[in-house]
């Protein structure tokens, strides 16, 4: 197979995943959330249990009028959704699906790259919030920036712990080094990473930047139509990326009780789905944290745990 | 001391339990709701019982009942003189004003007004919410049959007087 | 690779940064220009590494980035404090002779 | 011109253009966003020049943290949307100084290297392993000193930005 064809196939694969997985997660969220609240959720679009609801939503969003506020900084306002999407797309490129070559772009420093690009998402939020020329969006953006800067630290520290344990920064290498007992040993890091990841993608209970009861809709208040849909897509791709990262770093990626080599990709998908389910579940079960509680939880809760985990990892790594 | 995070776990448990349980949602346009008897849906008029006593219209708190009538003379053969009788010309209820208090039904001495469980009569134009006597009569078709008597309860007045008379005869 | 390209690029970036530092009156914009200059220096270090085939320069560039981060953190803290005192972050107006505006008005 | 040269030229042009926008634009927040572009493109140049780790560190620290911090500060200090007129001092001296520094350095460097060629094939990429070895063998002490510096900066930043103890109480 010529090189360019292989690259094209890999990129196309990532693109398909980029477009379908978020839709699946979104539809699951509709249904799971509804049933957890004693409702049914969408039932009509696409006949069977409303499976085509998100596609219908997409069609609706495309048809909607594109409203740009008169006082807005227009080009920045228009650019923000794209900036929100691109980092997650890049992150998906390096996440391994299965053993061997089943990754779009195997990189020596996959973990580092993912952490770096996920952090770029803040810029999009600041752009959206500031360019909308609205006090609620600005407050939302400032909250988001404070939150993301704070949670970046435990996020990176927890990832550093597992990278230290595996002795590599390559995501494929980390999965290969992973052993089932790491579940126990790296449990605090798993907790910290998952929670900080939730905060990084601003999912409930860490959705203070959006907080519809206080800030209308946070930094997304002024967005309509397709651009709003892109921000929503970014949120769901974010869920996929965080679930996939948690899976790869802490849950052993493609390793399962059996058939890890042949059905590895299935194990990865199952685990990603399970983590995504937990993310949805947390949204239904927990109320939103207040801004001060949010910062306190990060600095007094997650950061110390992450640091202790780093010490533990180092001790175990050097001692045994 | 309570275990930290206990409440959070409880929240997770409750939501998970709710999800696995079958929920009782009825999908309305597909499945008609089974409403309880005596639901206050719409007011039905049994025109034959109405004597145009105007009690309902006068008791109505927001004056949403409009009644017009005229008198007719009824010649009964063999009677000493002709009797007069009220004939209903118009009986409208404006459901854009009605607040479903049911006072009209309570005060009607001749059981001419009933609650019917019909509720889907929204209109595009507010003027169409004025139901005339023909429409109010149609609602009678939905009025549920009265509850059966309580077998342990006292017999009704009519029954007891009938029994007394029968016994006396 | 012709090392002269990144070197000239670095020099021009540095010049841009110098221009920014001299021309800007807003303190945050000043810091941004300083970042440009630091970036140019890093580029020189990285290019030197490639030409000399070692990694000392990159290690130094790493250090520079760390120092830049510390500098920005401290610098922005000072800028915010300045804003709290003066309601403005124009560097020209920072003088010892001026009495600070009272804080209690609308802080 | 090799592929590397072309890439460096292209990314460098983006970086330089964005950098010029940073120092000339009249809109403060836009300057911050152009800084993101400039430093991002610079990270791309590092990547082309085989300094992988440095490139991603640049993205993580500069784009993800430093610029965000700056935008944060700009927004906290009530930057207006649109143009502000009082951002610049007189241009001419600055052009002389900046242009002189830039062109002078460029001339010196261009004269030193001329059109010499260096193959990239023998260069070991600056990945985490190589840089880690470098930092923790030759430069361990500076590394430690740096961590102390960071700590000091952290403490200093907190000390500067917190209101005087007791003062806040009386106000409210």
C47-106 residue pLDDT tens: 888 887 778 888 888 888 888 888 888 888 888 887 877 777 777 666 655 555 555 544
pLDDT tens per residue, range A194-244: 999 988 888 888 888 888 888 888 888 888 888 888 888 888 888 999 998
* Average pLDDT of the residues in A65-80: 84
Q: If we measure between CA atoms, which residue out of C90, C29, B152 comes closest to residue D71?
A: C29
The minimum CA-CA distance between A207 and chain B, rounded to whole Å, is 17
Winning range, highest mean pLDDT, from A154-158, B26-30, C23-27: A154-158
Which residues on chain D are in Cβ contact (under 8 Å) with C46?
Answer: 45-46, 49, 51, 54, 126
What residue has token string 């139901």?
B131
Angle, CA A70 vertex, CA A66 and CA A73 arms, to 5°? 90
User: Scanning the structure block, which residue is given the tokens 């890999």?
Assistant: A10
Rounded distance between C-alpha atoms, residue C50 and residue C69, angstroms:
25
- Give the pLDDT score at C100: 54
Lowest mean pLDDT among B14-18, C102-106, D69-73: C102-106
Is the pLDDT score of D167 beyond 70?
A: no
Beta strands in A29-76 (DSSP E): none
A74-128 per-position pLDDT tens digit? 888 888 888 888 888 888 888 888 776 666 677 777 888 888 888 888 888 888 8
Give the separation between CA A235 and CA A238, rounded to whole angstroms. Answer: 5
Instruction: Please judge whether B15 and A285 are an interchain contact, meaning their C-beta atoms are less than 8 angstroms apart.
Output: yes
**CA D61/CA D72 separation, integer angstroms:** 15
Structure tokens of B30?
Answer: 């597909």
Which residues in chain C have Cβ-Cβ distances shorter than 8 Å to D143? Answer: 63
Give the residue on A whose Cα is nearest the Cα of D60: A116
Query: What is the per-residue DSSP string for A47-59?
Result: SSTTTTHHHHHHH
- Give chain C's domains with CATH numbers: 4-93 (1.10.287.3510)
- The reply to whether B64 sits in an annotated binding site is no
- Residues D144-148: what's their mean pLDDT? 89
Residues 107-166 of A with CB under 8 A from D: 108-109, 112-113, 115-117, 119-120, 122-123, 126-127, 130-131, 133, 138, 141-142, 145-146, 148-149, 152, 156
**pLDDT reported for residue B66:** 92
Quick one: average pLDDT of A183-196?
A: 88
Mark whether A and D touch (3+ CB pairs within 8 Å). yes
Q: Is residue B50 annotated as involved in ligand binding?
A: yes
Q: How far is B43 from B50, CA to CA, in rounded Å?
A: 14
Partner residue facing D23 (CB), from C33, C49, C79 = C33
Residues 274-313 of A with CB under 8 A from B: 281-282, 284-286
Q: Please state, for a pLDDT cut of 70, what percent of chain B lies above it.
A: 98
The pLDDT of residue B3 is 75
Alpha-carbon distance A4 to D48, whole Å?
20
Q: Does B25 touch chain A (CB under 8 A)?
A: yes
Given a cut of 60, is residue C107 above it in pLDDT? no
Residues 117-156 of D with CB under 8 A from A: 127-128
C-alpha–C-alpha distance, residues C5 and D110, integer Å: 8
Nearest residue to B49 (alpha-carbon basis) of B109, B118, B131, B134: B109
Q: Is B53 annotated as a binding residue?
A: yes
What does the block give as tokens for B137?
């009569």
Rounded to whole angstroms, how far apart are CA atoms A210 and A242? 19
Q: How far apart are CA D109 and CA D116, in angstroms?
A: 12
Q: Residue B167 — very low, low, confident or very high, per pLDDT cuts 50/70/90? A: low
Average pLDDT (B56-82) is 87
Among partner residues A39, A43, A281, which is closest to B15 by beta-carbon distance?
Answer: A281
More confident residue, D118 or C62: C62
Q: What is the pLDDT of residues B97-142, one digit of tens each?
A: 999 998 999 999 988 999 988 888 888 999 889 988 888 888 888 8
Contact flag for D and C (3+ C-beta pairs < 8 Å): yes
Report which of residues C88 and B31 the model is more confident about: B31
The predicted model gives A16-28 an average pLDDT of 86
- Distance in Å, alpha carbon of D136 to nearest chain A alpha carbon: 15
Tell me whether chains C and B touch (3+ CB pairs under 8 A).
Answer: no
Contact partners for chain B, using 3 or more CB pairs closer than 8 A, are A
Q: What pLDDT was estimated at residue C93?
A: 66
Q: Cβ contact (<8 Å) for C65 and D61?
A: yes
Domain boundaries, chain D: 127-162
In this predicted model, what pLDDT tens digit does every residue of D82-117 receive, in sequence order?
677 777 777 787 788 888 888 888 888 878 777 777
Q: Smallest Cβ distance to A285: which of B11, B25, B27?
A: B11
Could you tell me the pLDDT band of residue A1, with boundaries at 50, 70 and 90? Answer: low
> What is the separation of C-alpha D84 from the centre of its chain, rounded to a whole number of angstroms?
24
Where is pLDDT greater, at B27 or D171?
A: B27
pLDDT of residue D171: 46
Q: Which residues of A touch D29 (CB under 8 A)?
A: 73, 76, 130
d(C-alpha A27, C-alpha A54), whole Å: 7
β-pair type (B113-116, B83-94): unpaired
* Chain D residues closer than 8 Å to C38 by CB: none
- Split at pLDDT 50, 70, 90, the class of D172 is very low
Are residues A165 and A188 in contact, defined by beta-carbon separation less than 8 angstroms?
no
In the three-class reduction of DSSP (H, G, I as helix; E, B as strand; rest coil), residue D51 is classed as coil
Q: Locate tokens 């000193």: which residue? A: D145
D60 touches chain A (CB under 8 A): yes
């Amino acid at each position: 197979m010529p090189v360019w064809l292989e690259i094209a196939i890999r990129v196309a694969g990532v693109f398909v995943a980029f477009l379908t997985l978020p839709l699946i997660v979104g539809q699951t969220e509709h249904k799971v959330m509804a049933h957890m609240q004693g409702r049914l959720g969408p039932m009509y679009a696409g006949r069977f249990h409303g499976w085509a609801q998100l596609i219908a939503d997409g069609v609706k969003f495309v048809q909607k009028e594109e409203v740009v506020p008169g006082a807005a900084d227009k080009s920045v306002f228009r650019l923000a959704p794209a900036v929100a999407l691109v980092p997650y797309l890049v992150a998906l490129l390096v996440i391994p699906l299965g053993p061997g070559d089943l990754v779009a772009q195997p990189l020596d420093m996959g973990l580092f790259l993912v952490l770096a690009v996920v952090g770029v998402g803040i810029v999009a939020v600041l752009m959206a919030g500031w360019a909308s020329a609205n006090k609620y969006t600005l407050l939302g953006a400032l909250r988001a920036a404070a939150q993301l800067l704070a949670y970046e630290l435990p996020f990176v520290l927890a990832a550093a712990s597992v990278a230290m344990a595996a002795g590599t920064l390559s995501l494929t290498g980390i999965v290969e080094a992973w052993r089932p007992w790491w579940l126990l040993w790296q449990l605090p890091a798993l907790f910290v990473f998952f929670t900080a990841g939730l905060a990084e993608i601003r999912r409930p209970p860490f959705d203070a930047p959006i907080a519809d009861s206080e800030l209308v809709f946070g930094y997304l208040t002024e967005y309509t139509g397709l651009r709003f849909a892109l921000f929503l897509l970014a949120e769901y791709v974010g869920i996929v990326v965080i679930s996939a990262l948690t899976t790869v770093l802490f849950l052993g990626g493609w390793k399962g009780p059996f058939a890890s080599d042949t059905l590895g990709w299935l194990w990865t998908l199952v685990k990603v789905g399970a983590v995504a389910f937990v993310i949805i579940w947390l949204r239904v079960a927990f109320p939103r944290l207040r801004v001060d509680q949010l910062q306190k939880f990060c600095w007094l809760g997650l950061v110390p745990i992450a640091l202790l985990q780093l010490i533990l990892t180092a001790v175990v790594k050097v001692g045994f | 001391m309570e275990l930290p995070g206990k409440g959070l776990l409880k929240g997770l448990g409750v939501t998970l339990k709710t999800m696995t349980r079958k929920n009782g949602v009825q999908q309305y346009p597909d499945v008609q709701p089974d409403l309880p008897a005596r639901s206050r849906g719409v007011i039905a008029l049994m025109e034959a019982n109405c004597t145009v006593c105007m009690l309902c219209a006068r008791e109505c708190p927001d004056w949403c009942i409009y009644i017009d009538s005229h008198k007719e003379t009824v010649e009964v053969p063999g009677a000493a003189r002709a009797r007069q009788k009220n004939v209903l010309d118009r009986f409208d209820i404006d459901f854009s004003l009605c607040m479903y208090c049911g006072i009209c039904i309570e005060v009607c001495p001749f059981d001419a007004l009933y609650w019917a469980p019909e509720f889907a009569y929204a209109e595009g134009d507010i003027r169409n919410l004025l139901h005339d006597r023909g429409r109010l009569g149609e609602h009678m078709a939905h009025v549920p049959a009265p509850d059966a008597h309580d077998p342990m309860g006292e017999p009704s007045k009519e029954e007891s007087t009938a029994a007394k008379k029968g016994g006396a005869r | 690779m012709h090392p002269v390209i990144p070197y000239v690029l670095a020099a021009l970036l540095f010049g841009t940064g110098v221009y920014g530092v001299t021309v800007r009156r807003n303190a945050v914009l000043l810091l941004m220009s300083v970042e440009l200059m630091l970036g140019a220096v890093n580029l020189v270090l990285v290019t030197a590494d490639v030409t000399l085939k070692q990694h000392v320069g990159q290690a130094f560039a790493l250090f520079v980035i760390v120092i830049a981060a510390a500098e920005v953190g401290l610098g922005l803290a000072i800028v915010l404090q300045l804003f709290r005192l003066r309601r403005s972050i124009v560097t020209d107006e920072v003088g010892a002779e001026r009495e600070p505006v009272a804080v209690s008005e609308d802080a | 011109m090799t592929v590397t040269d072309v890439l460096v030229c292209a990314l460098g042009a983006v970086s330089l253009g964005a950098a010029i926008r940073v120092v000339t634009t009249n809109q403060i927040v836009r300057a911050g966003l152009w800084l993101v572009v400039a430093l991002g493109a610079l990270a791309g140049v590092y990547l082309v020049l085989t300094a992988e780790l440095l490139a991603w560190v640049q993205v993580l620290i500069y784009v993800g943290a430093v610029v965000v911090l700056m935008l944060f500060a700009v927004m906290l200090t009530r930057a207006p949307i649109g143009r502000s007129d009082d951002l610049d001092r007189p241009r001419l001296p600055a052009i002389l100084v900046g242009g002189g520094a830039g062109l002078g350095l460029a001339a010196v460097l261009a004269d030193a290297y001329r059109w010499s060629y260096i193959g990239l094939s023998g260069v070991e990429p600056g990945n985490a392993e190589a840089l880690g070895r470098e930092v923790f063998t030759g430069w361990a002490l500076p590394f430690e000193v740096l961590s102390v510096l960071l700590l000091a900066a952290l403490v200093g930043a907190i000390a500067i930005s917190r209101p005087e103890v007791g003062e806040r109480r009386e106000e409210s």
